Amino acid sequence: QSDTCHVTKQQPLPTAAARRTRTVRMAVAPPSYCFVALPPATEGGHLIFGKNSARPRDEVQEVVYFPSATHEAGSKVECTYITIDQVPKTYAVILSKPAWMWGAEMGANENGVCIANEAVTAREPAAEIEALLGMDLVRLGLERGSTAAEALDTIVSLLDKHGQGGNYCEDGSMCHAFHSTFLIMDRTEAWVLETAGKYWAAEKVTAGVRCICNQLSITTKIDSEHPDVRSYVQNQGWWNGEGDFSFSEAFSQPGDSLSSCCSAKEALEKKAEITVHTVIDFLRDKNSGTCVDSNTFLTTASMVSVLPQNLKSSCIHFFTATPDPSRSVFKPFIFTSDVKAVPKVQSPTFKEDPAKKEPRFQTKVDRRHDLYKAHQKALSVLRSEKEHGQSLMETMLGLEKQSLEAMEDVLSRTEPLDPAEAADLFFDCVDTEIKFYN
C-alpha cells in the first residue's frame, strides 16, 4: 500500500470497511486552538472569536477576499480535490488559507458569520480517498451561510453528499488524513460541530467561553446530530445504548484524553471582561501552548473577530497573514461594498501547480507572498540583532495598538460606518507593515 492519498473523482462514498483498509493517518493532528467568548463574559456585549492555525512549519498562509457573486444554473465549483455543484449566490468572504488549497483554515463572511476548523483523529478512520477537506467545508459554509445555523446546515449536508477525505498537508510522501471539528458563530450564537466520517454532532453555545482543538470535545450536550449516529456506534460496539450518549466518548480512540485541551479557557473565564486585547494576548502565549512553535508545527497564521450584537455596528476581523502571532501584527479588515484587493498577502499562482497535478505534491514551489517575505527578513533581525530587533517589534506593536484603538472607536459608534473609511483599511495596514520591515 502506498503512503500517499488515493485520487478518486466523483465516485460513491466507500463503505466503513473499505475506509478502514485504505487509510494512512498522521499520529497526531496539528495542535491548533480556537475559542469564542460570548456575553456576559465579553466587553460591550460582543462575541469575540480567536484562532491560532498550527500547520507544518514551512507552509504559507495567504489572506484573500472574494466578493459576493451570482452563478448560472448548472455551474460547478472546483474545491481542493473534487468539483461540486455551485449555488446561485455566494456571499463575500475573507479567508486565511494555506496557499496551496482552495479551502480555508478560518474566515468570515459579509453577514457576520465566522468559521474555523481543527483536524482530529477518531476510532472511525479518516479517509485517504480525495473528497472535501475540512478546510473546503469552512469556505463553503461561509460562502453559503447567512447565519451560523445555516452555515452548519450547509456543512453537514455537503458532508453527507460528498464526504471528507484527502491529504491535509502539501506532502507527496505521506497521506495526512483527519476528521474535522468546526467552531461556527454569528452575532448572536455559536455552534461547535464535530465529525467522524459522515457522522456528526453539534452543540449550541449561547454564553461564556467555548474552545475547540485537535480532539473531540462534545459529550452529552448535543443539540443536533446525524440521524444514524447512535445506531452506527452501537453497531460498532462503541456504545451500549444505555445512559446518556457522549459523542466524544463514542468516537475518541481508546486511551485518548477527554479533558479540555484548551489551556486558555480557564484563564479567559477568570477575566472580568474579555476584550480583543485579551484574546490577542492569549494567542501570543507560548508558555500555555496556545501559540505553537515546535519542530513539526508552527502557528502559521492567526485571526481574531469581534461581532457586535448591534446590527448597525460593523464586524471587525483581524488577521496576521504571517507566522507566530507573538512576532506578528494583527491587522483589521471590515466588509464594505468596495473592498480594495491586497495582492501583497496573496501567494503567487503557478501554471503547473504540484497541488493540482497527479500524483500530487511531487515538487515544491515558493508560495511566499510579499508580506511573508518581508516578515521573514524582520524575524532574522529579531534573532541576530537583539537591540535593533526589539526596537522594530516595539514599533510594529505600537502601530497595532493604534489600529486597535481606532477599531474600538468604530465599535462604539451608533451609526453605520462610512464604506469609504474601511475600503482601504486592510490594504493600508499591510502596506505600512511591509514599509517598516523594509
In this structure, what C-alpha cell is assigned to residue 247?
459523542
**Cα gap 309→431, rounded to integer Å:** 31
In this structure, what C-alpha cell is assigned to residue 35?
475559542
Catalytic residue among 5, 34, 291, 315: 34
In this structure, what C-alpha cell is assigned to residue 432?
505600512
**Rounded to 5 degrees, what angle do the CA atoms 226, 231, 235 make?**
135
DSSP secondary structure of 144-213: H-SSHHHHHHHHHHHHHHH-B-S-SSS-SS-----EEEEEEE-SS-EEEEEEETTEEEEEEE-SEEEEE-
**Cα gap 430→360, rounded to integer Å:** 32
In this structure, what C-alpha cell is assigned to residue 296?
513539526
- Please give the DSSP secondary-structure letter assigned to residue 326: G
Cβ-contact 39, 160 below 8 angstroms:
no
Cβ-contact 354, 364 below 8 angstroms:
yes
Burial (CB < 10 A; 0-12, 13-18, 19+), residue 240, is exposed
Active-site annotation holds for 34: yes
Active-site residue list = 34
